[in-house]
Amino acid sequence: MVQAYTQQTGQGGPGAEPTGSRLRRLLRHWGHLRHDRGIWRRGMVPAGCAALLALLMIFHAQIPNRLGSLGSLLETFLPWLGGFIPVLLGCALWRRSATALLALLLPVAVWLNLFGGLMFFDRSHGGGELTVVTHNVNAENPDPAGTARKVAASGAQVVALEELSDSALPVYRKALAGTYRYHTVQGTVGLWSRYPLHDSRPVDIKMGWTRALRTTVATPRGDVAVYVAHLPSVRVKFNAGFTAGQRDGSAEALGKAIGRERLARVILLGDLNGTMNDRALAPITSQLRSAQGAAGDGFGFSWPASFPMARIDQIMVRGLDPVSAWSLPRTLSDHLPVAASVDF
């Protein structure tokens, strides 16, 4: 009985083809392809698509923004271009095309060069002298008290919230008061801190109302200038493309404000409605370092919370060393809270 059972399971069940037979059949099949002259002529379309995919990733910065901010739209979802690689691989195998398979090596190499480090290596080191959190809480959040409790449970010394509504603000103040003694709110953004704050003021990002602030956090290791910002939203419209003009103008204004900052240590927290790859955020990204890019595990996508596809919530620093970056558990917002720890 034992012998019969072993033989049967080794074959994958009654009537199944033995593994050795399948392997021999596959090797014979590819052996026949060596004598198939069409193996190099077939699959020119998937080979051309593979080459085009590689060129898009290599020269994404040269795609113009004049027409519907097409370049920024591509850069927002740039890592997802890698999703076309398995599709092209399937096409190459279906067409039994050596040309398409070889061409596919090019986009694979480019994608790994751009994102392999983010995808396969954990750059976090643990610890950190200062932990910060930023969260777009969503003005229509039905449970602001629960959201505040989850954010406070992170253990962060500094918490930034964006999209604060007039009705929810008293709830956040009450829920966070026990953990954070100091706070400042300017317009629809706020900062809560365990350390004293001073020189708090709004930052004009050319929107007509206040969605950014600047304050000084007096940590035990010295003063840190902290900016909180919520840049304008962007939309993808059929007749207008990627409507990011107002966001781009606000990014330039915020970049100028950060450029005038006199303190050496700077942290930017907020929903920038753009990724680090987006050239439109260059006035900001050229001055600051991404905590996720320096010390995160993976891409750290933060939006939408139900199925994160882009990292548009950012923690960026200057004069500080990121040691870890991560996402917090989901709240009832459409964004995930994100956190980072830094050393002085």
Q: Which residues contact 90 (CB under 8 A, 6 or more apart)?
A: none
pLDDT of the residue at 116: 87
Residue 158 and residue 78 share a domain: no
Give yes or no: residues 262 and 181 share one domain.
Answer: yes
| Residue 108 shares a structural domain with residue 257 | no
Domain assignment of residue 5, yes or no: no
158 lies in some domain: yes
On whether both 162 and 298 belong to a single domain, the answer is yes
Q: Which ranges of the chain have pLDDT less than 50?
A: 1-12, 240
Q: Is residue 8 part of a domain?
A: no
- Report the distance separating Cα 301 and Cα 260, nearest Å: 30
Tell whether 32 and 148 lie within a shared domain.
Answer: no
At 102 the pLDDT is 94
Is the Cβ–Cβ distance between 135 and 339 less than 8 Å?
A: no
Query: What's the confidence (pLDDT) of residue 32?
Result: 59
**246 and 302 part of one domain:** yes
**Looking at the domain assignment, is residue 7 inside a domain?**
no
pLDDT value, residue 118: 78
pLDDT score of 259: 97
Are 115 and 251 contained in the same domain? Answer: no
Distance, in Å, from the CA atom of 318 to the CA atom of 224, rounded to the nearest integer, reads 10
| Cα–Cα nearest to 195, from 265, 144, 137 | 265
pLDDT > 90: percent of the chain? 72
Examine the fold and report which residue of 120, 139, 167 is the final residue of a domain before the chain moves on. Answer: 120
Please give the tally of structural domains in the chain: 2
Same domain, 76 and 140: no
| Residue at which a domain ends, from 66, 92, 120 | 120
Range of the domain at 316: 130-343
Is residue 242, in this structure, part of any structural domain at all? yes
Instruction: Decide if 12 is inside a domain.
Output: no
Q: Are residues 224 and 285 in the same domain?
A: yes
3, part of any domain: no
Residue where a domain stops, chosen among 87, 120, 153: 120
- Long-range CB contacts (within 8 A, 24+) of 276-282: 276/311, 276/314, 277/60, 277/75, 277/76, 277/78, 278/72, 278/75, 278/76, 279/61, 279/65, 279/71, 279/72, 279/75, 280/65, 280/69, 280/72, 280/244, 280/247, 280/248, 280/251, 281/251, 282/255
d(CA 246, CA 234): 8
Q: In this structure, is residue 247 part of a structural domain?
A: yes
Q: Are residues 138 and 113 in the same domain?
A: no
Name 298's Cβ contacts closer than 8 Å, sequence gap at least 6: 118, 119
Give the Cβ contact number of residue 238 at 10 Å. Answer: 6
Residue 198: how many other CB atoms lie within 10 Å: 11
Alpha helix stretches (DSSP H) within the chain: 2-10, 19-33, 44-58, 70-76, 84-95, 98-120, 144-152, 169-176, 245-259, 282-285, 291-295
Q: For residue 311, give the CATH number of its domain.
A: 3.60.10.10
Q: Are residues 257 and 184 both part of a single domain?
A: yes
- Residues 153, 115, single domain; the answer is no
